[in-house]
Structure 1
């Protein structure tokens, strides 16, 4: 109990401040909704950017784990742009390297054209290359099929073709019905499979694959490989990369091109990281704009509620309690917007990742950071209105309501 004449101690509990804050926000529904919407959009953008980037990077890292030990070997090109053949002993020599675990080869069939029908002019090839492939191609490359099957034993004796993903799109083929066929050098070849997009072997996307024996018999192919794909012990990839040019062509190692498709995946991961930084910066700007909206709403609220402020001061509320109340309201605006934005961002991330066939990942640290950033912006936005309300003289505030 306070001593006689002593002013009663004024206390503002957090629960009371939150309840009063909700009541005040509900009284200004339209303005509160606009402020909440701005914060929600910014937070949803932050969550979407980090979530979609994490989902895409997880897929790339997973592929890097599968294809990080893949290497390709090719020679130079002729003046016409066609790849020159590798030495006849190239594939045998590559197989002899101890860390190499699997090898396959393809050969470019020169002057072979692929069209949907004979009615299409021979010059309209859509950039599709005919590649002769060995039976081990599918096992070594691990490229899945979106339709049909790979070249099997039947394809070693009969004309059958597997299309790369881009080649199938250019030909207008998106499904197989048993009668799907293309024209190669004037003859009809049944399409038995369509490959999925290949990140590690983009040259296959624009190719029509046939078997070596049939290409030799029907397309006047000389049977020489122009590109070798190999898998190596993951711990020895760099060592194999270093010796491949000298192994394939001891006389002219500089004419041999060795590529590590994993470098493409690494570059794509780095590029995604760069874009994530840009998009996060843009979302941060949107969050600052949302904070300005909250500050504007709270300043107007101070002007409108001067009578309330004066009455509370007259009843014993201290300046810090008035400031605490307005800070609580601005934080509530930001928190509600942040929670709504986080939910929207997570839902959009899940929908987009699922549509692209990727693993759905919404990083919890990013989610927590987005919410924390929203609340921090709300608190900062409420500082000036809170100070302005706290410094308002009680007598002047009461007179303003008369």
Structure 2
């Protein structure tokens, strides 16, 4: 009796070999591979672009709402237990600066008795309801004030008789321009007008004020150095925590004599819009992923079914069922990866172009790009697995008969 020889064991495919074999179908049918990859890319690009444009629009809305002062709080003196007007300590601003989440602090101090007139010839009773404030140099940045004419006070002009007028104060005084010849009388002292503010949306009380530097206010107008209103900007996520400690920080001896404003209504609008955009993005992303997944599945099913004869030939030459499955899964994943990467780049490019043309910040969420690639690979693997398994179970003769 002859000795039965053992059947040869098929060689195992290494990872590099799997990639090379999987790329054969892409190289031999470049046009089909390109069109299939293009279909995948368009689906993923649509998802990334829709999510990116929505996110960019949401970021622009957040930016505009932030400009409205969503994180601005004001601190002012209240009334004492006897019903008298309270005062803030002179070091209240320095104390508030120590609060961790507080990012900006500025203040104004009303100079009592410093009446403002267009000239010395104006009757004393005709003050026009204009207040004089000793202001910090960083006040415009904190309250979001902008200049209509001229400049704001600086380290030099705050020491000399120079003044900036609020929008209403300039109108009441009849000041339409600034220059060395434009002067007003503040507390009996002539001040040169160096700037005129636009209306301050976040602090309308400043529109009827005249602003001078603290050093010159103390030297010429008798300012006592006590702030009458402090403006703070804080981290939005910690705004309520900051508000809870502002009174005790500004006046530890009598926190009940301090009034703290409520957060801006714009903050509630911003939080509501952020939640609405989050829900919208989840819905849009899910729909776009579903559409892209259907496209990937359709492409890979047709690709595998068209090559049943090739599968039969490989089986006849000794390829195992597992190797056939691995080949087509590798091709499916390669095609999905190429199409997904191209779709992510295309979608990011569309988002950036549209955002720049609209003047928005360009935002492409990382979860959209990572999720798009992961979903493409997952759907590509699922779509390629079933046809590959089914074809690999065909006998070589039956598969070759399909040629």
- Short-chain TM bin: 0.5 to 0.7
How do 1:37-116 residues align onto structure 2 when only pairs under 5 Å count? 37-45=42-50, 71-73=73-75, 89-90=85-86, 92-93=87-88, 95=90, 97=92, 99-100=95-96, 104-105=107-108
2:281: which partner in 1?
279
SS at match of 1:93: coil
Cα shift at 1:306? 2.2
Cα deviations by residue, 1:112-159 (Å, 9 ceiling, x for unpaired): xxxxxxxxxxxxxxxxxx9967352652452467665336769x9899
SS at match of 1:229: strand
Cα deviations by residue, 1:10-68 (Å, 9 ceiling, x for unpaired): 544213233214225624133432223212332455566678879998x89x99xx996
Query: Do the aligned partners of 1:349 and 1:362 also contact (CA within 8 Å) in 2?
Result: yes
1:334: which partner in 2?
336
Please point out which of 165, 176, 182 is paired with 1:189.
176
Please point out which of 14, 26, 49 is paired with 2:18.
14
Query: Do the aligned partners of 1:39 and 1:287 also contact (CA within 8 Å) in 2?
Result: yes
1:123: which partner in 2?
none
SS at match of 1:392: coil
Q: TM-score w.r.t. structure 2 length?
A: 0.57
Cα shift at 1:382? 2.3
1:258: which partner in 2?
261
1:111: which partner in 2?
none
Size of the alignment, in residue pairs?
A: 320
Whether 1:392 aligns to 2:394 is yes
SS at match of 1:72: strand
Cα shift at 1:96? 6.3
Please point out which of 9, 17, 32 is paired with 2:37.
32
Change in Cα spacing, 1:135 to 1:381, as seen in structure 2 (3 Å) is farther
Query: Do the aligned partners of 1:311 and 1:398 also contact (CA within 8 Å) in 2?
Result: yes
Please point out which of 379, 383, 390 is paired with 1:381.
383
Change in Cα spacing, 1:357 to 1:310, as seen in structure 2 (3 Å) is closer
1:308: which partner in 2?
310
Question: 2:286 and 2:132 mapped to 1: Cα distance?
Answer: 51
Please point out which of 240, 247, 269 is paired with 2:246.
240
SS at match of 2:229: strand
Question: 2:146 and 2:350 mapped to 1: Cα distance?
Answer: 26
Change in Cα spacing, 1:371 to 1:106, as seen in structure 2 (3 Å) is farther
Change in Cα spacing, 1:88 to 1:241, as seen in structure 2 (3 Å) is same
Change in Cα spacing, 1:320 to 1:270, as seen in structure 2 (3 Å) is farther
1:122: which partner in 2?
none
SS at match of 1:211: strand
Cα deviations by residue, 1:327-377 (Å, 9 ceiling, x for unpaired): 22222232113222333455566664898686x776767754543333223
Change in Cα spacing, 1:316 to 1:193, as seen in structure 2 (3 Å) is farther
Cα deviations by residue, 1:290-319 (Å, 9 ceiling, x for unpaired): 121111112222332222222222222222
Deviates most, 239-248 or 382-391: 239-248
Query: Do the aligned partners of 2:247 and 2:260 also contact (CA within 8 Å) in 1?
Result: no
Q: TM-score w.r.t. structure 1 length?
A: 0.57
Question: 2:356 and 2:89 mapped to 1: Cα distance?
Answer: 39
SS at match of 1:294: helix
Listed as ranges, the gaps of 5+ residues in structure 2 are 98-104, 111-128, 179-194, 213-227, 236-240
Question: 1:248 and 1:204 mapped to 2: Cα distance?
Answer: 23
SS at match of 2:394: coil
Change in Cα spacing, 1:193 to 1:301, as seen in structure 2 (3 Å) is farther
Query: Do the aligned partners of 1:145 and 1:194 also contact (CA within 8 Å) in 2?
Result: yes
